[in-house]
Amino acid sequence: MAEYAHPEVLVTTDWAAEHLKDPNVRILEVDYDPSSAYALGHIPGAALVDWKQDINDTVLRDILSKDKFEKLMSSIGANADTTLALYGDMRNWFAAFAFWTFKIYGHQDVRLINGGRRKWIEEGKPTTEEVPTFTASAYKATDANRDLRSFLSDVRNVIGRDDFRLVDVRSPAEYKGEISAPPEYANEGAQRSGHIPGAINIPWAQAIQDDDTFKSVEQLRELYGNVGIVPERSVITYCRIGERSSHTWFVLKYLLGYPVVTNYDGSWSEWGNGVGLPVEREGATA
Amino acid sequence: MGQRRGLAGGEGGRHRLNQAPAVVLDLSGAEEFCSDPTPLERVRRAYANLEPGSRLEVRTPVAEHAFAVRAWSGKSGIDVITDVKEDGVTRLVLERRA
């Protein structure tokens, strides 16, 4: 079996279990809903990263600022050489989003725990409710790396270009325009449903196996390559709020090693609410 | 043969006489959409809607979800009447105290 393009960014649950007390490693649980996950039990020594509070600007719709990232890293006593091993609830989506933001601010050694919280618990590995404490550091981040992120104008500019591919990682029902938001959150949806013209629908979960670990590099190459998502093209991933698409961004950028992959975190919740933006929907195009 | 855990009730999931059937919440296929309520949030909401003395049966094939329901129940003082895994699906029955 061939290796991933960057195997160093993916660690197993066993690796995490062997590094619980490694002073050069910080294990971080990134949760969408900590009260349903971290607060009930987590990997011993893992610190909580609350996706809503810690990874986002809580006023402006944006990812965390450089200053906020530095404060977050300092609070867990990290420095530029610290290994950050991320996992979390909701199938590792938000851990992948955190991975993406940490890369934007230039942290070198970020890793994803393959299979995440779900696999750790499935394997019966130990959990604790104890919250660790760390001696604060004075972390310094780099300026945001714009090459990893796409904004609305970037997406609009590449529609119809053959050297780009847009990957819509939402469910087929969302892609087709049958729904625009989760059934229980109808008021969080978009004014229009459908997808960005030309986008190819490859739901994020097609990249993983039953135990939530990633498929082999051969399977992933086939999955994306068969529909023209190839390294010779630049790729933009999107979903609804940008976290499922960061999971696919991780696959394309680090497991397959595609040179130009960006995550459009504005995603459908921005595009589907934009006045005059082109939309494709089954049986209708505007 | 199913795998049983320690139970608060110990009646193996059978209903007492006059016990209304449990409301069933199947968590299979949860976590499909971003911003979906977490599986445990669905359990919390369903439990909150129970009448005192009635029961909620949670079914899930995912150990992480069962772990969360057990831990939350324990913290919340909720009786787990049944906790059994059969054919890969964990069945937890919670009873709302009268």
Q: B8 lies in a domain?
A: no
A50 touches chain B (CB under 8 A): no
Q: Write out the residue range of the structural domain in which residue B82 sits.
A: 14-95
The pLDDT, as a whole number, for residue A181 is: 73
The pLDDT, as a whole number, for residue A286 is: 64
Q: Looking at the 3D structure of chain B, how many domains does it have?
A: 1
List chain A pLDDT tens, one digit each, 286 residues.
Answer: 689 999 999 999 999 999 999 999 999 999 999 999 999 999 999 999 999 999 999 999 999 999 999 999 999 999 999 999 999 999 999 999 999 999 999 999 999 999 999 999 999 999 999 999 999 999 999 999 999 999 999 999 999 999 999 999 999 999 999 887 766 665 567 899 999 999 999 999 999 999 999 999 999 999 999 999 999 999 999 999 999 999 999 999 999 999 999 999 999 999 999 999 999 998 666 6
Q: Do B62 and A118 touch (CB under 8 A)?
A: yes
DSSP per position, A43-105 = STTPEEEEIIIIIB-SSSSSBPPHHHHHHHHHHTT--TT-EEEEEESGGGHHHHHHHHHHHHT
The pLDDT, as a whole number, for residue A285 is: 62
Reported as a single tens digit per residue, the pLDDT across B14-60 is: 445 556 668 999 998 777 666 567 889 999 999 999 999 899 999 99
3-class DSSP state for residue B91? Answer: strand
Q: B28 lies in a domain?
A: yes
What ipTM describes this predicted complex? Answer: 0.89
Beta-carbon contacts of residue A45 (< 8 Å; ≥ 6 apart): A20, A21, A27, A132
| Fold match, A7-146 / A149-285 | yes
The catalytic residue positions of A are 239
Rounded-to-integer distance, Cα A3 and Cα B88, Å: 32
Reported as a single tens digit per residue, the pLDDT across B66-86 is: 999 999 999 999 999 999 999
Q: Residue B5: pLDDT above 70? A: no
The CATH superfamily of A7-146 is Rhodanese-like domain (3.40.250.10)
Domain A149-285 is found in CATH 3.10.20.740: no
Contact between A172 and A52 (Cβ < 8 Å): no
CATH code for the domain of B25: 3.30.110.40
Rounded-to-integer distance, Cα B65 and Cα A37, Å: 9
A265 touches chain B (CB under 8 A): no
Q: Residue B11: pLDDT above 60? A: no
The pLDDT, as a whole number, for residue A282 is: 80
* pTM more than 0.95: no
Q: Do A185 and B35 touch (CB under 8 A)?
A: yes
The pLDDT, as a whole number, for residue B36 is: 67
Q: Do B33 and A243 touch (CB under 8 A)?
A: no
Q: Do B68 and A37 touch (CB under 8 A)?
A: yes
How far away is chain B from the Cα of A227, in angstroms, using its nearest Cα? 23
A243 touches chain B (CB under 8 A): yes
Q: B40 lies in a domain?
A: yes
A93 touches chain B (CB under 8 A): yes
The pLDDT, as a whole number, for residue B35 is: 59
How far away is chain A from the Cα of B36, in angstroms, using its nearest Cα? 6
Contact between A41 and A80 (Cβ < 8 Å): no
B39 touches chain A (CB under 8 A): yes
Beta-carbon contacts of residue A215 (< 8 Å; ≥ 6 apart): A207, A208, A209, A223
CA distances from B29 to A5, A202, B63 (A): 31, 18, 13
Q: Which of A90, A121, A188 sits opposite B38 (nearest CB)?
A: A90
* Residue ranges of domains in chain A: 7-146, 149-285
Q: B9 lies in a domain?
A: no
A185 contacts in B (CB within 8 Å)? 35-36
Rounded-to-integer distance, Cα B26 and Cα B42, Å: 10
The pLDDT, as a whole number, for residue B32 is: 65
Closest residue in chain B to residue A121, using alpha carbons only: B64
A207 touches chain B (CB under 8 A): no
Q: B59 lies in a domain?
A: yes
Strand pairing report for A200-201 and A164-168: parallel
